[in-house]
Amino acid sequence: MGLYSAKVYKPEDGGELVVGSSGFITVQSGGEIDVESGGSIDVESGGSLDIEAGGKLTEPVENGSTAASLKNYGVSVLSPTTKKVYTLAAPVAGVRKTIYCTVASTSKHAYVYSGASTIAFTTTSTQRALKFSKAVRGYVSMIAISTARWLVLNKTTSVSYTTGTTGA
């Protein structure tokens, strides 16, 4: 009988689970892998995360209709009925953010202020806020390129840049 070599094993110190070359972990139907707060999944250079047909990658969605502060990740859906200024949390490099305004007030605009961070199509811009036009639906999709700058990947024409902080 030959030497047995496990493809998945736990080293003596027990602090990790190793999946050897050509080994894999199967999570059966109904099973899941939870990453607790502060944990992460690290895909190293040359690694990949494959989502097969029918698979999905979900993002958290927050309702910003009542909150004045918006998370710096996931999707925020804004539904203001009056002029409203939202404050976007500081960016974390590599994190994506989408903001969708269902409809701003028919007489007032909705604003998203980024604090000390800039929001721009270019890396030289100094705008710190987004204005969602009154009575028009709009969205903006961004990625943080540093802890001080959001880079806009795409936006509707009803969203514009502004340097204001109060929505004046």
Does residue 108 carry a pLDDT above 60? yes
Q: Read off the pLDDT of residues 24-51 as tens digits, 9 standing for 90 and up.
A: 888 888 898 888 888 888 888 888 888 8
Does residue 55 carry a pLDDT above 70? yes
C-alpha atoms less than 13 angstroms from C-alpha of 38 in its C-beta half-sphere = 0
Q: Is the pTM of this model over 0.75?
A: no
Q: Rounded to the nearest 5°, which phi and psi values hold at 106?
A: -70, -15
pLDDT score for 65: 61
Q: Which stretch of DSSP H or E encloses residue 154? A: strand 149-155
Domain ranges of the chain: 61-162
* Beta carbons of 144 and 97 less than 8 angstroms apart: yes
pLDDT score for 99: 94
pLDDT score for 81: 77
> Residue range 61-71: average pLDDT?
80
Judged by phi (left if over 0) then psi (alpha if -120 to 50, else beta), residue 22 lies in left
User: In the chain, pLDDT over 70 holds for what percent of residues?
Assistant: 88
